[in-house]
Structure 1
Amino acid sequence: MKRVVITGASSGLGAALAHSFYEQGYNVLLIGRNEDRLKTIATTCEGDWVCADVTKSEALVNEVIERFGKFDVWVNNAGMAEFDFVTDQSTDVMEETMRVNAVAPMLLSRDAANVIERGGVIVNICSQAGKVPTPKSAVYAGSKAALLQFSNALRLELKPRGIHVMTVNPGPIATPFFDRADKSGTYADSVQGIMLDPKRLADAIVKGVRKRKREINAPWWMNVGANVYAICPNMFEMLAKRGFEKK
């Protein structure tokens, strides 16, 4: 039975991924900071769990190997944000955002790549924000853009070894992520109608892993917008001005 390791698995997309992988016959190992939630989800998925902060666990991959043996898929899902103007953001929040969203998954990807066997997959949960930055998400967008380009380069490096790297670039997802990211609640309310269902996205991610897709983009029309933005940024920013200002 194949084993998948999922960070940020105590709620939201991570919890949904645990159930989706379990439904497809994977042995599930959950990593997160909330021990009670991890235990509950692990019970429903007949899986194991490790209570850890990804930004403070430099030996996390080795711990997983020593305690539970080899794994076939590693999913870097843990992430955070606080939407605000750059001039109003504290140094602590900016550094935490980069550590959680970029540095930690880079280090974990490196360590996973050193032990995962041929045929294995590393999945990095990035964001459409990494392709199309918007006001009040500059630091978040920067962290996700860094992870996206890191993953694209890592894919090329690991291809000769038979290890695949897949990125996931979602738009807003209906998860507790916004409890911290959008404290005013105005942005979450404004995009309620287009929020992705975490379980449907999780199912698509598992399918993508099995087919070794390069990336998953959801919703599809946001990725179309990202492609237009890459070609005609000035025009796109002018046309999408109202959407950019929702935060």
Structure 2
Amino acid sequence: MNLKEKVVIITGAGSGIGAASAKLFGTHGATVVTSDINLENAQKVAEEIKAAGGSASAIKTNVTKFEEVESLIAETVKVHERLDVIVNNAGIGGANQKKTAEHTHEDWHNVIAVNQTGVFYCMQVALQQMMKQGHGNIVNIASLAGLKASGNNLSYSASKFAVVGMTKSAALEYGHKNIRINAVCPGYTHSALLDQLLSTRDDMGDILKRHIPMRRFGEANEIAEGVCWLASDNSKFITGQTLTLDGGTSL
């Protein structure tokens, strides 16, 4: 993949898909800025990239705070002079698995703030910089839950449907500005969010795998491959699309 020397920000890079993507970008020669609300985790990933011969640094960011998003992008541009790619990966699930009538307001506000508003903030500030420099690439991490119904999960589903919609709307607006915007929609993938779901009942893993034609969960590095491909010049005629990586679950 053609990613050499691209300046890349990844939010939520301290673990899961974000960490796997950051490391893969580093392997392909990109300059990686690992961003996470947990600075220690972001620094650990950055150090692993550097230890493998790559270039990386870490910045603490709470994507629900607009001024922190502004600072993240401003600091990146100050050091590296541009922003080629931003991967909007930071995301959370609700603390409770409840139907809509019982859905907690706390879960609603927390999930929407990170998964939807956080992506909007990052897109908005990144687009302003990308228009100044005349190019850019945004990859948003949505979910299979943003393409099809997901029960007991209203705020998460709503936020991920929103990410898909924001991706398509912004891609339509900025395609003529040499800015590409796409989304990745993972299915059930080994992560903290999946662990949270599996903990709800002993047989949840078996139940979920029965809905996956490949009969297994995805791995973070498999999702990272799709992220890096969309961010690379190998996909330069693709914009406004959702790349579904779900082992066939959506079938």
Task: Say yes or no: TM over 0.5.
Answer: yes
Q: 1:201-220 CA distances to partner (integer Å, 9 max, x unpaired)? A: 20122122221333311126
Q: CA shift at 1:120, angstroms?
A: 1.5
Aligned: 1:169 with 2:191: no
Q: CA shift at 1:92, angstroms?
A: 1.5
Work out which of the residue numbers 61, 71, 84 in structure 2 matches 1:72.
84
Greater share of helix residues, 1 or 2? 1
Aligned: 1:202 with 2:224: yes
Work out which of the residue numbers 52, 76, 79 in structure 1 matches 2:61.
52
Q: CA shift at 1:62, angstroms?
A: 2.5
- Matching residue of 1:232: none
The 1:95–1:110 alpha-carbon spacing in structure 2 relative to 1, beyond 3 Å, is same
Q: CA shift at 1:40, angstroms?
A: 1.3
The residue matched to 2:91 in structure 1 has which SS? coil
State, as a whole percentage, how many aligned pairs show the same letter: 24
The 1:173–1:33 alpha-carbon spacing in structure 2 relative to 1, beyond 3 Å, is same
Is the CA contact (8 Å cut-off) linking 2:14 and 2:45 kept in structure 1?
yes
Aligned: 1:88 with 2:97: no
Work out which of the residue numbers 190, 200, 214 in structure 1 matches 2:207.
190
Q: What is the rounded CA distance, in whole Å, between the counterparts of 1:78 and 1:178 in structure 2? A: 15
* TM-score normalised over the length of structure 2: 0.82
RMSD, aligned CA: 1.9
Is the CA contact (8 Å cut-off) linking 1:7 and 1:78 kept in structure 2?
yes
Q: CA shift at 1:164, angstroms?
A: 0.2
Work out which of the residue numbers 20, 27, 33 in structure 2 matches 1:23.
27
Aligned AA (1:39)? Q
Aligned: 1:32 with 2:36: yes
Q: 1:88-142 CA distances to partner (integer Å, 9 max, x unpaired)? A: 3321110111111111101110110110233420111011111111211222111
Q: CA shift at 1:163, angstroms?
A: 0.3
Q: CA shift at 1:177, angstroms?
A: 2.0
Is the CA contact (8 Å cut-off) linking 2:8 and 2:86 kept in structure 1?
yes
Q: What is the rounded CA distance, in whole Å, between the counterparts of 2:107 and 2:118 in structure 1? A: 15
Gap runs ≥5 in structure 2: 51-55, 210-214
The 1:20–1:185 alpha-carbon spacing in structure 2 relative to 1, beyond 3 Å, is farther
The residue matched to 2:243 in structure 1 has which SS? strand
Aligned AA (1:84)? K
Q: 1:177-236 CA distances to partner (integer Å, 9 max, x unpaired)? A: 23445552554563364311110220122122221333311126234x3xxxxxxxxxxx
Is the CA contact (8 Å cut-off) linking 1:129 and 1:144 kept in structure 2?
yes
The residue matched to 1:92 in structure 2 has which SS? helix
Please give the residue correspondences for 1:136-175 in structure 2 after superposition, counting only pairs within 5 Å.
136-175=152-191
The residue matched to 1:168 in structure 2 has which SS? strand
Q: What is the rounded CA distance, in whole Å, between the counterparts of 2:102 and 2:18 in structure 1? A: 30
Q: What is the rounded CA distance, in whole Å, between the counterparts of 2:198 and 2:101 in structure 1? A: 17
Q: CA shift at 1:154, angstroms?
A: 0.2
Aligned residues: 224
The 1:161–1:53 alpha-carbon spacing in structure 2 relative to 1, beyond 3 Å, is same
The residue matched to 2:161 in structure 1 has which SS? helix
Q: What is the rounded CA distance, in whole Å, between the counterparts of 2:7 and 2:242 in structure 1? A: 21
Please give the residue correspondences for 1:107-118 in structure 2 after superposition, counting only pairs within 5 Å.
107-116=121-130, 117-118=133-134
Q: Which moved more, 1:109-118 or 1:213-222?
A: 213-222
Aligned: 1:222 with 2:249: yes
